[in-house]
Amino acid sequence: MLKFMLFTMMLIPLYMFHCFIMNMIIMSMMIFIVTINKNMFMLNYELFVDNISYGMIILTVWISFLMLLSESNHKYNMNMLTLMILLLMIFLILSFLSFNLLMFYVFFESSLIPTMIIIMGWGYQPERINASYYLMFYTLFASFPLLLSIMYLYNNTMSMIMFNMYMYGNWTLYLGLILAFLVKIPLFMFHFWLPKAHVEAPVSGSMILAGILLKLGAYGLMRVEKIIPIMFNNFSFIWISISMLGSMLVGFNCLIQVDIKAMIAYSSVAHMGLVVGGIMTMNDWGINGSYYMMIGHGLCSSGLFCLVNIMYQRTGSRSILINKGMLTFMPSMSLMWFLLCSSNMSSPPSLNLAGEICIINSLISWSPICILMISVSSFMSACYCLYLFSSSQHGMYYSSIFSFNSGKVQEYMLIIMHWLPLNLILLNLNIFM
């Protein structure tokens, strides 16, 4: 593991040689993905891989590779963008490797810096400054209690290793530990920064936000629930209620969105609400289902943001009122839209289907009342996915379109590389567990 990390870090000073560095990075990532094995490496007692971090590291490398592919025709300061993507990938991999709670906190917060630079440097509208402020202040205000809670834990357990920490705790420690992760996921009512950040970010920023950074919050919850399990068990009903209600309400909100990027961003809030519900039930069905949905949603939402960017490059708009009739201009790309929209609403053989079945089973066994909110949430998910597909691909096309490219090979490859792992992993679900 360390040899790949060091190799990638040594490539950073060469980022000004764009073609060379791009080929070397892609080669490094491919070697890493082919040779990685969850039983293969353990750097020391503070940096090693287990079943949960194994899948997250592979997802991080895969999405980072696709980010480089999506931005390869970017004209403005591409070398610096490549550097930021590399740095972000390294911070995220180190976050998933760290079992020292303080190291995890440092890398967890460090991932915010390249993300903000990507949004502010390569965003589309002047409002990107406002979106960056929202992202920074939401994250920092929630993460300060996490730092205090880590200090309190160290003072009482005299250890920073997550496996050595176990406390009964109190509600202030519990709230301090989970608040930063709930904002990062984001849970309903803590989600106001997410649509702003997604709408203003470039395609690579949206891909890494939806694909990895939201999962970092759920990963943190999975880790800290082992530290104070009694408090998690006592207060889980609060977060399950909020997440179920939020998934239902956000589904209605998606149907009134005009901006396609905002609609996909709100759908991420709905899906991650189910993930929170599954984790908070604290049983194997819920945690496994949440894990499957984290990986499935990371691939699916990232692919949808790529599709929106492909349309935006041609029409200059993200409005659902202008991007109509794309079936006329891009018939093959319409197939990609259908495949990813159907995967987003958890149709077979998507990995989202396996995750949703496990989470629904877990939540209904926790409380049968959840079946009402889950039914509405799943129905609304199907509604806004079908609405997105039918509105963008059918209807009369916008009359001001005078020149149109039906799609490059690179764009089709980018979408297929999102869709294939999303559906083929279902054939071997124990690959990550």
pLDDT in tens, 356-379: 999 999 999 999 999 999 999 999
- pTM here? 0.92
Q: In the predicted model, is pLDDT for residue 274 greater than 90? A: yes
Domain ranges of the chain: 2-431
Query: From CA 56, how far away is CA 207, in angstroms rounded?
Result: 15
**Side chain identity at 299, as an amino acid letter?**
L
Q: What is the mean pLDDT of the chain?
A: 87
What's the rounded Cα separation, in Å, for the pair 137 and 414?
A: 33
pLDDT, tens digit, for every residue of 340-359?
Answer: 999 999 998 899 999 999 99
The residues with which 100 forms a beta bridge, in sequence order, are 161
Mean pLDDT of 118-140: 91
How far CA 65 is from CA of 11, 26, 60, 87, 178, in Å, comes to 15, 6, 9, 13, 30
Q: Name, in order, each residue with C-beta under 8 angstroms of 423's C-beta and a sequence gap of 6 or more.
A: 343, 349, 350, 351
User: If DSSP codes are grouped into helix, strand and coil, which group holds residue 305?
Assistant: helix
pLDDT at 44 over 70: no
Confidence of residue 395 (pLDDT cuts 50, 70, 90): confident
pLDDT confidence tier of residue 132, bands split at 50, 70 and 90 = very high
| pLDDT score at 400 | 72
Q: Assess contact for 183 and 190: CB atoms under 8 A.
A: yes
